[in-house]
């Protein structure tokens, strides 16, 4: 239920909505339209790509897990997924302009 925590999207910020008011999680695919998302890889996740920072065009309605497939990260790889400063799950739908940070499962203090 990680995706239950709502997050502001890049587009909602631009429109000046309040922090938690944007919850339009798209679920159905719309043909041909693409989203542009930024992806940053950290620590052990860097082994899956030649670059640490990626800009990826992906079908509208895609979720985090679809993006992982595009990059070539196995679905069962334990990850800490941050979308626009919020911890999210792999089912979280993506939106135009999102920034994703992918970390291994880490902790510390």
Partner 1 sequence: MFGWNGKIAKVYLTEKKTETVSLDEEFLTNYLGGRGLGVKFVYDLVKPGIDPLSSENILAFAAGPLTGTSCPTSGRYATVSKSPLTGSIFDSNSGGNFGPELKFAGFDGLVVLGKAEEPVYIEIHNGKISIKDARHLWGKNTREVNRELSKFGRVACIGKAGEKGVRFANIMNDYTHTCGRGGLGAVMGSKNLKAIVVKGNKKISISDRERYKKYFQDITRLLVASPVSSKGLSEYGTAVLVNLTNYMRILPTGNFRFSRFDFAEEISGEKINSVFPIKKTPCYACPIACKREVRNTEIEVPEYETISMFGSSCRISNIQTIMRANRLCNEYGIDTITTGSTIACYAELKGEELTDEKLLELVELIGERKGIGQELCEGSMRFARANKNPDISMQVKGLELPGYDPRGVLGLALGYATSNRGGCHLRAYMIGPEIFGKPKLVNRLTFSGKSGLVQVIQNLFTAVDSLVVCKFALFSVGEEEWANILSAVTGIEFVSESLLEIGERIWNIERLFNLTEKFSNKDDTLPERFFQEDGGVEGRNIKKDEFRASLLEYYRFRGWDREGIPTKEKLAQLNIQL
Closest CA to 78 of 106, 52, 38, 56: 106
Least distance from C-beta 52 to partner 1, angstroms?
A: 8
Give me the least distance between CB of 2 and partner 1, in Å please: 5
> Least distance in Å: CB of 80 to partner 1?
6
Measured from the CB atom, the residue of 16 and 30 that comes closer to partner 1 is 16
In the bound state with partner 1, the residue whose beta carbon lies nearer, of 49 and 87, is: 87
**Which residues of the shown chain bind partner 1 in the complex (CB under 8 A)?**
2, 5, 19, 40, 42-44, 46, 78, 80, 82, 85, 87, 101, 103-109
In terms of Cα–Cα distance, which of 39, 24, 32 is closest to 69?
A: 39
Please say which residue, 13 or 34, places its beta carbon nearer to partner 1: 13
CA distance 71 to 3: 21
C-beta of 62: minimal distance to partner 1 in Å?
A: 21
* CA pair distance 83, 98, nearest whole angstrom: 7
User: In degrees rounded to 5, what are phi and psi of residue 78?
Assistant: -70, 120
Tell me how far apart the alpha carbons of residues 23 and 5 are, in angstroms, rounded to a whole number: 10
- In the bound state with partner 1, the residue whose beta carbon lies nearer, of 32 and 105, is 105
């Amino acid at each position: 239920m990680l995706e239950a925590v709502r997050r502001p999207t890049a587009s909602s910020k631009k429109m000046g909505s309040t922090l938690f008011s944007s919850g339009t999680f798209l679920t159905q695919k719309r043909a041909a339209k693409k989203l542009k998302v930024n992806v940053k890889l950290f620590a052990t996740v860097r082994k899956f790509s030649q670059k640490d920072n990626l800009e990826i065009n992906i079908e509208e309605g895609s979720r985090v897990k679809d993006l992982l497939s595009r990059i070539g990260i196995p679905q069962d790889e334990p990850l800490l997924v941050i979308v626009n400063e919020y911890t999210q799950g792999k089912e979280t739908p993506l939106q135009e302009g999102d920034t994703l940070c992918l970390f291994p499962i880490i902790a510390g203090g």
